[in-house]
Amino acid sequence: MLVIRDLMFKDRREFRDFLGAEERVASNVLADRLKRLIAAGVVTRAPHPDDARRALYSLTEKGVDLAPVLIEIVLWAAQHERTSAPADEVAQMREDREALLIAIRRAHLGPSP
């Protein structure tokens, strides 16, 4: 879920970006999770346009469909725990969930036809 969260809400797209996250996931664990997410059709991997040795990860439609679940988890955490979620983002999740879901879908999949 951390990789999906980082792709969806934190605009992290490269392996090194995920490694730099607060949770400090080990590189071998991260590599395994990314492979599993790709195999499950939740994430895609593409060569970086500036350096083919690097890769960019993106959410698929299946991955974006997890947005409502992640929003609920963030809202639960904000209510019950101290989190690093920005207060303005949590407020948007509470106040205009549908607009946020549309924005997430557009950001990751482009405009709807």
Q: What is the pLDDT of residues 27-58, one digit of tens each?
A: 999 999 999 999 999 999 999 999 988 999 99
Q: What is the pLDDT of residue 52?
A: 86
Q: Which of 16, 56, 20, 18 is nearest to 38 (CA)?
A: 56
Q: What is the pLDDT of residue 85?
A: 85
**Average pLDDT score over residue span 50-70:** 94
Whether the pLDDT of residue 20 is over 80: the answer is yes
Whether the pLDDT of residue 113 is over 80: the answer is no
Residue 28 sits in a domain whose CATH number is 1.10.10.10
Domain total of the chain: 1
Global model pTM greater than 0.75: yes
**Calpha distance 18→70 (Å, rounded):** 17
**Higher pLDDT pick, 78 / 111:** 78
Q: What is the pLDDT of residue 24?
A: 86
Q: Which of 62, 56, 64, 54 is nearest to 5 (CA)?
A: 64
**Average pLDDT score over residue span 72-97:** 90
Domain that holds residue 36: 2-109
**Average pLDDT score over residue span 74-103:** 91
SS3 content of the chain, % helix, strand, coil (to 5): 60, 10, 35
